[in-house]
A and B are shown apart, each in its own frame.
Chain A
Amino acid sequence: MSRLTALIVAALLALTACSGSTAQSGPKTLRMTVWTANEAHLGLLNEIAAEYRAAHPDVTEIKFDSIPADGYTTTLTTQIAGGNAPDLAWILEESAPDFVSSGALAPIKAEIEQAGELVPSATKLWEKDGELFAYPFSTSPFGLFVNTDLVGQLPSTWEQAVAASAGKNLVLPDFKYQNWAVLSAIWRGWGANAWSEDGRSCGFASREMKDAMAFIHRAIFTAKAIPGPGTTVDFFAGNAAMAVSQISRAGALKDAKFGWTLLPLPKGPKGDYAVIGQAGVGVLKRSKNAEAAADFLGFLTNAANSAKLAQFFPPARSSLLNAETLAKSNPLIKPEALQSVVIDGIGKGVVKPSHQGQEELNQTIRAALDPMWKPDADVDSVLDGVCAKIKPLLERS
């Protein structure tokens, strides 16, 4: 062995020796990654954490680490790869299959207070072999925010919504012509799906999807209701007639200078439906304090704290899913709206599309859909193209 190789080997050994992990005893610190930087959200989380620490002196710090939603999962996995995994993490619904199936998360069912009352439609994504791997922290149906200063007649179908907001902007805040999964809030009304229930066959080329996408295309380029690519319009500043969003955004309307209301998603040709955006909180198996982290998760999500958190993050506990309880923490939204959007929505809703290997699917579909966002696009052939591209990815899993 040459001297140089010997040196490298020695250095590598030294590096690995430093990073060996052992379970800690004594004072513990916990770190949880979240994708909100909203002060009200963090304030409430910190309040709950302080209460927990008062009862558990061995936990000296609980830190909520805000990572921007854009690229959240990428940052989280990079931290895990770099040996700097958090103890707890929020997980987006679209990454759920990857995290749950990979074995990165510790089982938590035993730590959850009254796990039996969790709504099955909310826990489905986070379960494997009867065990729960993340707590459905926020189960938030999409609704339609309407600026009543700009819209007279409230819409009950998508046709009416687009007609009423023509030239006045119907915003999909997180879409940005990238996050195509947001469009599921519309295409479900046509009965369309990104892929089949088992995740193995592509749904983009189906008749339902083609009709729904043709409708969306017309809403962008013919009716000029949905703002075109590269144009940013802020509903919450009063610049748009409508926005498809979740109740956690209602806080931004506290000081709104315009009249607004919240409606369930309009009906599509297939009638009534709901689409849910979800977030789970899981405990990383590799955390040195996994036990303490799971214990804190149990506290964070107990009935009392779930009720507090419900003002931002709709709970999956059936005991809390009634208009009176939700109204206490959501003074901005009328009880009827909470009933029709949140409570009915959770009951009948489908979670946004998610699949194993979601990020690769996301990017592939994003790229394949790009030709659609032009006035003269051939919608049907673009959608056939999407299926051609993702077929191998769907079949791989």
Chain B
Amino acid sequence: MTFWTYRRRDNLVGYLFVAPALLGSLAFVLIPLGMVGWYSLNEWNVLGGTFEFIGTENYERLLADEKLRESLVATAWFATGLMVLNLSLALLLAVLLNQKLRGTTLFRTLFFSPVLVSLVAWTLVWQLMLQPEGSVNGLLGLFGADGPNWLRGETTAMVSVVVVQVVKNAGLNMVLFLAALQGVPASLYEAAKIDGAGPWTRFLRITIPLISPTILLTSIITIVGSLQVFAQIAVLTQGGPGTSTTVLIYYLYQQAFQFHHFGYGATISVLLFVIVAALTLLQWRMRRRWVLHES
């Protein structure tokens, strides 16, 4: 019997096909992930060039860190605000633009265009608009309202970063919702109409269940994305005022890159990884409950 049986040859071909992808994820995902895990067990003084194994000390510090708790609260506010606003705005726009009316293509393009703008450029423009004498307050002034100094108040700063992010990215979810809406068979609506269902009932009983797989997808993307928000915070608020917008990833950046605690920074990124993984898993598990076709 020869070594190169059909089975072995097939296997080899298969491995060769997956090799590029596997090597890529090994070099850029798995190895860095493993290294972060290793760094988190060490005290790494970048300036002094020392690298010392300290076991679980960084993890003990994580549990006792009051600032970390503050940043988890900020992260939760940001993620919740973003998810609720982003998904409802995207769905609203998608439903409105799903009508067969003239000019919808123009509006679709308009609402999608912020997605294509460079994030930092987008944020810098908003930073100017949100200044006390900026155009946002100018607009409010037209209606006789006296706008606050948006980026200097604890609540208004958080609202500002959420809104800047929502307006930037809602267009992406809108397109996904639009595609899903167009996949809903018109015959179902007609049948419901004949049965006497009003527009609201048709939306709740037909549209929502049929686009639920897309709602799941967009909610996972949005929540994972919200945990990775960085540029907006770095440009608009630098985590302030106080620590009101110091979300987890910004705190990680401060610890590792500003305070030179690279080991502790790695520990925080392990925590971030666990949170993202847990949320994704949870949403995936829950899909059986509320996504149609999955039960």
Quick one: which of B222-262 are within 8 Å of A by CB?
Answer: 238-243, 246, 254, 257-260, 262
Distance between Cα atoms of A80 and B171 in the complex (Å): 40
Q: Which residues of B contact A8 (CB under 8 A)?
A: 26, 30-31, 34
**Of A149-157, A223-231, A332-340, which binds chain B?**
A223-231
Contact bitstring B103-123, A, C-beta under 8 A = 1, else 0: 000000000000000000000
Q: Shortest Cβ distance from B263 into chain A, in angstroms?
A: 11
Quick check: A178 and B238 within 8 Å, CB to CB? yes
Closest to A81 in B: B46
Min distance, Cβ B195 to any Cβ of chain A, angstroms: 57
Q: Does A286 contact B (CB under 8 A)?
A: yes
User: Residue on B with the closest CB to A105?
Assistant: B47
B258 A359 Cβ-Cβ under 8 A: yes
- Distance (Å) between the CB of A68 and the closest chain B CB? 13
Nearest-neighbor residue (CB-CB) of B38 within chain A? A12
Chain A min CB distance to B165 (Å)? 20
**Are B45 and A102 in contact, CB atoms less than 8 angstroms apart?**
yes
Asked, given contacts A12-B31, A98-B260, A370-B241, whether A230 binds B151 with beta carbons under 8 Å apart, the answer is yes
**A77 at the binding interface (Cβ < 8 Å):** yes
Q: Which of A7, A77, A285, A368 contacts B46 (CB 8 A)?
A: A77
Among the listed B149, B152, B239, B259, which residue makes an inter-chain contact with A357, where contact means beta carbons less than 8 Å apart? B259
Chain A min CB distance to B237 (Å): 10
Binary interface encoding of chain A residues 62-104 relative to chain B, with 1 for a CB under 8 A from any of its CBs, else 0: 0000000000011001101100000000000000001100111
The 8 A CB mask of A356-383 against B (1 = contact, 0 = none) is 0101100100111011011000000000
Interface size on B, as a range, is 20 to 34
Q: Which residue of B lies closest to A75 (CB)?
A: B257
Contact with A along B121-145 (1 / 0, CB 8 A): 0000000000111000000000000
Contact status of A7 and B26, CB under 8 A, knowing A229-B149, A357-B259, A373-B152:
yes
Interface of A: prevailing SS: helix
Is B47 touching A102 in the complex (CB atoms < 8 A)?
yes
**Residue B27 CB within 8 A of the other chain:** yes
Is B48 engaged at the interface, CB distance under 8 Å to the other chain? yes
B243 & A367 in contact (Cβ 8 Å cutoff): yes
- Contact indicator B132/A99 (Cβ below 8 Å): no
Residues of A within 8 Å of B149, CB to CB, are 228-230
Number of A residues with CB within 8 Å of any CB on chain B = 34
Please report which residues of chain B, range 129-179, place their CB below 8 angstroms from some CB of chain A when the two chains form the complex.
Answer: 131-133, 149, 151-152
A81 close to B31 (CB less than 8 A): no
- 11 other A-B residue contacts (CB within 8 Å) besides A228-B149, A367-B239: A8-B26, A11-B26, A12-B31, A230-B132, A230-B151, A359-B259, A360-B258, A367-B242, A370-B152, A371-B241, A373-B152
Q: List residues of chain A with CB under 8 Å of any chain B CB.
A: 7-8, 11-12, 73-74, 77-78, 80-81, 98-99, 102-104, 177-178, 228-231, 285-286, 357, 359-360, 363, 366-368, 370-371, 373-374
Q: B: which residues have CB within 8 A of A?
A: 26-27, 30-31, 34, 44-49, 131-133, 149, 151-152, 238-243, 246, 254, 257-260, 262
Can you offer 21 A-B residue contacts whose CB atoms are under 8 A? A7-B26, A8-B26, A8-B31, A11-B26, A11-B31, A77-B46, A77-B257, A81-B46, A98-B47, A102-B45, A103-B47, A103-B48, A103-B49, A104-B49, A228-B149, A230-B131, A230-B152, A285-B49, A367-B243, A370-B152, A374-B152
